[in-house]
Amino acid sequence: MPKQTFLAQDLPWLLLPATNDNKDIKSFLSITKNKLHNFNLPAARGKTICGSSAGWLIMNDNVSTITLINPLTSGHFQLPQISTKKVFIHKAILSSDPECDPYNFVVMAICGEKRQLIYYKARSESWETLEAAGFYYDDVISYEGRKLFAVTEYGKVVCCKIDSLPRFKEIFMPFSFQGNKVYLVCVEGELFVIFRSLREHPLFGYETFKFSVSLLNVEEEISERIKSFPEVAFFLGQNHSVWLPADEDMQGVIGNRIYFTDDRNIGGVGRGGEGGPDFGCYDMEEGSIEPLKWCCFDALKCIHLSRPVYFM
């Protein structure tokens, strides 16, 4: 299939839950234009989403083999098997676009019950584990293709460089626990940590009710709470945690907002790549959550379907 060209203001897209009608068709909804894009992606058949990064879907199958799929070009890469046993991938990201950087890209993933960091380096024959980095990671991001940052559920932040010898360094020690899930976002060179707080829901079991955002000062090892960020919108979930500049008139992206999807992986709903109903848009100033107005699917049905994921 020839590469298709889309206007930048058409992004971001939301990968919608799959239906049983045609398992090869993946549907993406532009949240700025409310336009649906359908792609025939047979390489995704039988796989569950574990990441969306650098314009690629990262998918896992039932024998622990990761496949990278580009919806726009239909290009795909099958990576070596992670393990002879089935392992659960909580989240995976790319350091760079494999088509643009085929000899140097890195895939970093959070893997297994203890949520360790594992990585695959282009042209390698196997995956490696960053044993010394420890356990219980919640998020991992790439910055300019050179550095990888990861954060544990307790707020410990590490910086990783995957060169000839992989190196990692703790750059921010754990601080007081403020939520149920932690994310990292790099905005123009500054590192932000975002805590997501959940509470019980009578129908779905849980729901997000607030976020807190802090700017990390790595050199002084202090954090500053950010209550308003009108120039920026954050996008969190199974996707590579990212931000976009606010441009409500042209692009439809509203500042001071955290757009989020369900990425909870502990038991029941959301486990194994199944969907979940916990998605919405959080207003940082008001402390309120709005439903995703452009979602054309039923939250209750999402429980048994693949989860919605942002695609940039």
Condensed to tens digits (0 to 9), the pLDDT of residues 136-155 reads: 999 999 987 778 999 999 88
Between residues 67 and 145, which one has the greater pLDDT?
A: 67
Q: What percent of the chain clears pLDDT 90, i.e. is strictly above it?
A: 55
Q: Give residue 20's pLDDT.
A: 57
* Average pLDDT rounded to a whole number, residues 74-79: 93
Q: Give residue 50's pLDDT.
A: 94
Low-confidence winner among 2-11, 227-236, 275-284 (lowest mean pLDDT): 2-11
Enter the pTM of the model: 0.90
Q: Is the pLDDT of residue 7 over 60?
A: no
* Average pLDDT rounded to a whole number, residues 110-115: 95
Q: Give residue 202's pLDDT.
A: 87
Condensed to tens digits (0 to 9), the pLDDT of residues 157-194 reads: 999 988 766 788 999 887 766 789 999 999 999 999 99
Euclidean distance between CA atoms 76 and 219, whole angstroms? 40
The overall average pLDDT reported for the chain is: 85
pLDDT band at 267, cuts 50/70/90? Answer: very low
Condensed to tens digits (0 to 9), the pLDDT of residues 198-210 reads: 999 888 788 999 9
Between residues 26 and 294, which one has the greater pLDDT?
A: 26
